[in-house]
Amino acid sequence: MCNSRCIDHEQCKPEKWYPLLAFAHLEKLPVDASPQELDPQEEVARQAEKVLGPLLDRYNETTKGSGQAVPHGGDLTFVPAMPGVEFNPLQYTFRWHKNVHSRVRIEG
């Protein structure tokens, strides 16, 4: 499952960079998760609120399910795309080890 939060395309000004907050997370906790761990979707909401604070309402949330399972320790690549928007970096790859991964510094 992948969640991202980005500023509404209509609010973007040309030639200005905006952060894209992206998460990859499990749909639900694994059976062997500790009782202290939050549901992955609740953890995504908590982290988004922490990072964006009062700007949270200006950002739209999008969610897209994975087309296939990513094994623990496998590589996952974010490739953001939006018509008329340039992203830097063009993609971001990381190794899957946690229930929730976030990437804050992808800009577009």
Place of tokens 């970096």: 89
Domain ranges of the chain: 2-107
Taking Cα atoms as reference points, which of 13, 2, 26 lies closest to residue 81?
2
pLDDT tens readout for residues 33-88: 888 888 988 888 888 888 888 888 888 888 877 777 778 888 888 888 888 888 88
The rounded distance, in Å, linking the Cα atoms of 62 and 22 is 10
- The secondary structure of residue 39, as a DSSP letter, is P
pTM: 0.74
Taking Cα atoms as reference points, which of 28, 22, 27, 19 lies closest to residue 3?
22
Taking Cα atoms as reference points, which of 86, 102, 107 lies closest to residue 22?
102
pLDDT tens readout for residues 55-69: 888 888 888 777 777
